[in-house]
Amino acid sequence: MTFGARLRHAMDERGPLCVGIDPHASLLADWGLGDDVAGVERFSRTVVEALAERVAVFKPQAAFFERFGSRGIAVLERTVADARAAGTLVLMDAKRGDIGSTMAAYAETFLHKDAPLFSDALTVSPYLGYGSLKPAVELARESGAGLFVLALTSNPEGAEVQRAVREDGRTIGATMLAHLAQENAGATPMGSFGAVVGATLGDLSAFDLDINGPLLAPGIGAQGATAADLPAVFGAAVRNVVPNVSRGVLRHGPDLAGLRDSAARFADEIRAAVASA
């Protein structure tokens, strides 16, 4: 099955919630763990144990593992393997972007089926030109994996690039969405090439979000957006939205029941919001 088909199935079966695995120093401290490899491993194992069979997608933030070098990356490899073995899709949040053979090497790291860090999907940055992503697009298709391309991100600084206007009058963000719609043309039940679109951005009616692919929506919870905001932000595309919650769920750890209850509440709120749209 393609990533888009697997994701659609997971969202329909488990709800659309994506939970981050973000072992940054402040969360480790809140959990009573050290800011070290052992703390990162305990944190990650706990999140997977609590939620692996209850959410559609995990989104490990690669940077929080990479900062510990090879030992941190080894923890990331085990986290990915454990999550996928439990049937949860893994979206690697690495935001890679480069050209030529370097982009191809990044793609092989996360999208080649035999790679230790093989993930169901990868976040990528297109701001060396969308065409620079070609090696990742091609390998994702070959491996049945997916991509999430930064299009309209929730950070305020993003607007200076993403809302800049091209000579043809179209914004850069809208251009990225148009490229993704082309990648997903004719795919059923949903394409494998998604966009990152912040849930905190308010009215996006000026953008065509109907790309026949998933829309990863950071910003729910700690950043201020709520599940109830999703229909107003995403309109008719809301059924393909994959809301990402990290701190809003993770702050309830290390208690397994706390993590599960929090994830369940977010999932129920998201289902209700989508159903009402």
Catalytic (active-site) positions = 95
Angle (CA) 216-199-234 rounded to 5° is 80
Contact 70, 36 (CB under 8 A): no
Residue 59 bridge partners (DSSP) = 20
Residue 176 and residue 158 in contact, taking contact as beta carbons nearer than 8 Å: no
Total Cβ atoms within 10 A of residue 252: 19
Sequence letter at residue 267:
A
Taking the C-alpha atoms of residue 124 and residue 133, their distance in angstroms, rounded to an integer, is: 8
The DSSP letter of residue 164 is: P
Structure tokens belonging to residue 254: 């290390």
